[in-house]
Amino acid sequence: MNVKQTEFSFEESLKYIDDLAAQMKDDSPLPVCDTLTKDDLLSKDIAQAHGTVMVVKVVQHPWMKEGRIREYVYHTTMTLMMNVVRSTKNLRHLDVQTDGGLLAMFDTPMKKDVEEIINVSAQVRSVNDVVLRKFGQELTSQIVTVGMDYGSVVCYNGDDPIEDLFFAGKAIKTAKMLTGVKDDCVVISHDIYINLSEEMQNNLFKEEDAAEGIQYHYSPLINIRMRKWVVEHE
């Protein structure tokens, strides 16, 4: 059973950021980041799943302006990234990581499904640039790195369907590791790479390297429409 798909609107996202920026003050409350619901999580009767794992890491750098704006930028970025991921039809699970970022798992039985997740990763990274531009921050002051792998994931359930959900498996371990090998990129394992079309391999993921014995490919992927907006609003 997949997570209920929702629609992502770039125009509504821009309005959402404007509304938050207008109300931001040093003593104003933090914007409420979208929270996880039971609909975002794997069913309790599923002990194991197989598919594409995406780990998103968000890092703020010291040169971002101090004060409330750092928290506003982070919470806004997280909310919009979750909206992007939820708009994907094959989403199986979505979770917020304790160290900042997202963990998502997708059903990807066909190559076209894997390529759709690659496009989602480009949107996730581009949302960050849009938020930074809207809040008047340097585009390098907060970076988003995406790691992806394909394989099995084992799910352990506790008493609480949201708080007591634990995951293990090679795909999660590899995806998390890949977010640390190349900053500000989409980094994919070779298992993901071989499931892409030759055109996508040649045009998007020409660079390759290896770490901890794992071959990977990387690219600074962005969403063209969002990038155009960012450039037009320099």
β 48-60/207-211 pair status? unpaired
Amino acid at residue number 108: T
pLDDT at 96: 84
The pLDDT-based confidence of 26 (bands split at 50, 70, 90) is low
Q: Is the pLDDT at 167 greater than 70, yes or no?
A: no
Given a cut of 60, whether residue 56 has pLDDT beyond it is yes
Instruction: Give the β-pairing of 48-60 and 101-106.
Output: antiparallel
pLDDT tens by residue, 199-230: 899 888 988 888 888 899 999 999 999 999 99
Q: What are phi and psi of 139, to 5 degrees?
A: -70, -15
Tell me: pLDDT of 42 over 70: no
Give pLDDT, residue 165: 56
Q: How far is CA 29 from the centre of its chain?
A: 25
In CATH, the number for domain 46-232 is: 3.30.70.1230
Distances in whole angstroms, Cα of residue 104 to Cα of each of 3, 8, 195, 215: 11, 16, 19, 21
Gap between the Cα atoms of 40 and 58, Å rounded: 20
